[in-house]
């Protein structure tokens, strides 16, 4: 049978664009559908604008620290509108870059919502196309907990990048990394921040020491964290949004008509026409095997819509592995071992490999923990009580480093290099035999005994 395309991609986020370009480079005829901005969540509503706002939020602390080095007190105020405009201008520039990359790769772009008519046919508005292979890369979307009365008054994490004015009082619902990052950003920019979580600690799933260190630092920096909030209601009043809490912390909080719903994300697979295929969905995500193949043999899915590891570089690697295998004659699988990740809170955190709890679950008492907590040199002259935490999780019998975790300045930059060592199977003895760069925080990873 003759098809319009060798490969058709639904969704032009990071994973979809990477797959389309790689397949086209191998000579495949490729089409891609995207009804929203090119680049997906990461470029438009996630990693990029968020990190730019993180940078903006760091300057007040840097101005203060500068006095310890002899600089006079800086008198500076934030122009929120200028900052937001600059962030969104950069996002617009990047979407243009993606457009040019697809054009240069000769990938045909359809600016419509793609829906399955059958397993080989995609409807794009009034137009239909057919493809031999189809890749779903539609990403995720913010989850809004409908059981909370008044939740319709809350903003999602996507909307924070378009606020015209800075909220002076800001409430974050949720203790995941997105919620924690936005709490730190707004706190650093000068807003009064309260974070409400249902558990007793933020960042469920991360290493225990990392979670405790970040939460303590956030509270020390002025963020109010309310734990174990089980009964939440939101109401609109003349003075703003009123949030009522019951449970361990019974009280009423008023915000400046803004409450960020940062309660996680879910696969964005509604209205795709999956019912017109044999694709299986489990727990709200598209079911795939180790090759990103769905239960329809010629249809594949990558990225957040599969709800495996929801990180931009993972989606890109999954997509390129698919393209290499099916169009490049270079069969390979995506490896999910030792994938590093960062949390852009203040202080920053990064991690790779097993947490202490995961290691003990697998190896019992045959686990050795190496931990160091210290004040970096940068904070000595300003006399700031800021700490860095570094931790290695080691399998005692083999001496293999199972996990590395860090909280502190430049954690992401440092852990990226440590991740290479873990990927290569480094032993604690290899860390010990490595000469440190002095003076630096990073050297602590090779001097812990």
Instruction: Give all domains of the chain, ordered by start, each with its CATH number.
Output: 5-141+266-327 (3.50.50.60), 151-263 (3.50.50.60), 341-446 (3.30.390.30)
How far is 255 from 243, CA to CA, in rounded Å? Answer: 8
Tens-place pLDDT, residues 274-325:
999 999 999 999 999 999 999 999 999 999 999 999 999 999 999 999 999 9
Checking if the pLDDT of 342 tops 90, the result is: yes
Other residues' Cβ atoms within 10 Å of the Cβ of residue 198: 17
pLDDT at residue 242 is higher than 90: yes
Contact assessment for residue 78 and residue 368, using Cβ atoms and an 8 Å cutoff: no
Q: Tell me the mean pLDDT in the region 29-54.
A: 95
Res. 157: pLDDT tops 80: no
Mean pLDDT of 48-59: 98
Confidence grade of residue 145 (pLDDT, cut at 50, 70, 90): confident
- Residue with the bigger pLDDT between 176 and 145: it is 176
Residues 155, 142: Cα–Cα separation, whole Å: 10
Q: Which residues make beta-bridge pairs with 175?
A: none
Cα–Cα dist 201/185, whole Å: 19
Residue 263 has pLDDT above 70, yes or no: no
Which helix (H) or strand (E) element contains residue 213? helix 208-220
Q: Is 353 left (phi over 0), alpha (psi -120 to 50) or beta?
A: left
Give me the pLDDT at residue 262, please: 63
User: Span 188-204, mean pLDDT?
Assistant: 95
Q: For residues 37 and 109, what is the distance between their CA atoms, to the nearest angstrom?
A: 12
Number of neighbouring beta carbons within 10 Å of residue 293: 17
Alpha helices in 2-73 (DSSP H): 14-25, 40-45, 47-66
Helix (H, G, I), strand (E, B) or coil at 192: strand
The mean pLDDT value of the chain amounts to 95
Q: What integer pLDDT is reported at residue 448 of this predicted model?
A: 96
Residues 356, 334: Cα–Cα separation, whole Å: 25
Dihedral over Cα of 207, 210, 214, 215: its sign: positive
Map tokens 């083999």 to a residue: 398
Write down the catalytic residue from 221, 298, 326, 438. Answer: 438
Q: Are strands 121-124 and 127-136 parallel, antiparallel or unpaired?
A: antiparallel
Digit-coded pLDDT (tens) for 430-440: 999 999 999 99
pLDDT of the residue at 248 = 66
Q: How many CB atoms lie within 10 A of CB 35?
A: 13
- Kindly tell me the sign of the dihedral angle through the C-alpha atoms of 235, 239, 243, 248: negative
Q: DSSP per residue over 232-249, as a string?
A: EEEEEETTEEEEEEEESS
Mean pLDDT of 375-398: 98
What's the whole-number mean pLDDT along residues 127-134?
Answer: 98
Q: What is the mean pLDDT of residues 3-12?
A: 98
Mean pLDDT value of segment 390-398 = 98
pLDDT band at 192 (very low <50, low <70, confident <90, very high): very high
Residues 55 and 90 sit within 8 Å (Cβ to Cβ): no
For 37, 84, 335, 419, 437, the CA distances from 413, given in Å and listed in that order, are 29, 25, 21, 10, 15
Using CA atoms in the order 215, 218, 223, 228, what is the torsion angle rounded to 10 degrees? 0
Provide the 3-class DSSP secondary structure of residue 6: strand
Active site residue 438: yes
More confidently predicted of 1 and 173 = 173
If one counts every other C-beta atom within 10 angstroms of the C-beta of residue 118, the result is: 12
């Amino acid at each position: 049978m003759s098809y319009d395309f060798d490969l058709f991609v639904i969704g032009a986020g990071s994973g979809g664009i990477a797959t389309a370009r790689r397949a086209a480079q191998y000579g495949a005829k490729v089409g891609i559908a995207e009804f929203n901005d090119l680049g997906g969540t990461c470029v438009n509503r996630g990693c990029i604008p968020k990190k730019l706002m993180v940078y903006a939020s760091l300057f007040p602390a840097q101005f203060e620290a500068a006095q310890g080095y002899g600089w006079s007190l800086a008198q500076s105020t934030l122009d929120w509108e200028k900052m937001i405009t600059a962030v969104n201008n950069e996002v617009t520039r990047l979407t243009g870059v993606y457009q040019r990359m697809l054009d240069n790769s000769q990938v045909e772009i359809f600016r419509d919502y793609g829906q399955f008519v059958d397993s080989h046919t995609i409807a794009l508005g009034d137009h239909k196309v057919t493809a031999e292979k189809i890749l779903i890369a539609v990403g995720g979307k913010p989850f809004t907990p409908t059981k909370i009365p008044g939740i319709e008054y809350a903003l999602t994490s996507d909307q924070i990048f378009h606020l015209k004015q800075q909220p002076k009082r800001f409430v974050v619902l949720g203790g995941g990394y997105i919620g924690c990052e936005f709490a730190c950003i707004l706190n650093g920019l000068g807003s009064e921040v309260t974070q409400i979580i249902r558990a007793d600690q933020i960042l469920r799933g991360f290493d225990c020491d990392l979670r405790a260190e970040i939460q303590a630092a956030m509270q020390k920096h002025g963020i109010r964290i309310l734990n174990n909030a089980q009964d939440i209601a939101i109401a609109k009043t003349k003075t703003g949004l009123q949030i009522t809490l019951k449970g361990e912390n019974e009280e009423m909080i008023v915000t400046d008509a803004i409450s960020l719903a940062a309660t996680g994300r879910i696969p964005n697979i509604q209205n795709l026409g999956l019912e017109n295929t044999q694709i299986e969905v489990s727990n709200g995500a598209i079911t795939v095997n180790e090759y990103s193949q769905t239960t329809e043999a010629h249809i594949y899915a990558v990225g957040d819509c599969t709800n495996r590891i929801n990180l931009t570089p993972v989606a890109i690697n999954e997509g390129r592995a698919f393209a290499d295998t099916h169009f490049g004659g270079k069969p390979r699988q995506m490896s999910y071992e030792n994938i590093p990740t960062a949390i852009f809170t203040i202080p920053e955190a990064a991690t790779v490999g097993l947490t202490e709890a995961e290691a003990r679950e697998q190896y019992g008492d045959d686990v050795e923990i190496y931990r160091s907590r210290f004040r970096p040199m940068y904070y000595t002259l300003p006399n700031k009580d800021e700490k860095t935490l570094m931790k290695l999780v080691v399998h005692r019998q083999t001496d293999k480093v199972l996990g590395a975790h860090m909280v502190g300045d430049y954690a992401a930059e440092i852990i990226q290099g440590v991740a290479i060592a873990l990927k290569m199977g480094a032993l604690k003895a290899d860390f010990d035999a490595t000469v440190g760069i002095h003076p630096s925080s990073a050297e602590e990873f090779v001097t812990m005994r």
